[in-house]
Amino acid sequence: MTQQNSIPIPKNIQDCLAIQAHFIGMPKITKKNHVEFFRRGKALQLIGVSWVTKEVDPSLEDNEGRMPTLKEVEANIGIVEEEKAPHFNEKTWKNALYQMIEMGTEGLIKAEEGETTENEGKQT
């Protein structure tokens, strides 16, 4: 699970959806966009981002996370609206997703470099 320090810890599914709205660039869940809202959330889950934790969904394990399900998104049509969330068209969304992938890649490389440096120092 990825949890940024500046992101509030969600207490319920509406909190999770509100956070998701900011990351995916969809300020409001509507009948017209709810499937795309869900799909963009699943793309984030694929790269290791999740906000639904055991605190929100007790059926999850302690270190397990996921993004909201289609049913959870549908249940919040017209309820979750984040006025300050950006609006991403398809191209902007793909660019944002790619940037998140790049940030995660850089983090993995730096972590490996740190491990390599530590291991090389121990091999003397």
In terms of phi and psi (left: phi > 0; alpha: psi -120 to 50; beta: otherwise), the region of 78 is: left
| Per-residue model confidence (pLDDT) at position 6 | 75
Non-local (6+) Cβ contacts of 50 within 8 A are 1, 2, 44, 65, 66, 67
| Per-residue model confidence (pLDDT) at position 87 | 96
pLDDT string in tens for the chain (124-residue length):
444 457 788 999 999 999 999 999 999 999 999 999 999 999 999 999 999 999 999 999 998 999 999 999 999 999 988 989 999 999 999 999 999 999 999 999 999 988 766 666 665 5
| Per-residue model confidence (pLDDT) at position 3 | 46
| Per-residue model confidence (pLDDT) at position 119 | 66
Report pTM: 0.83
| Per-residue model confidence (pLDDT) at position 123 | 59
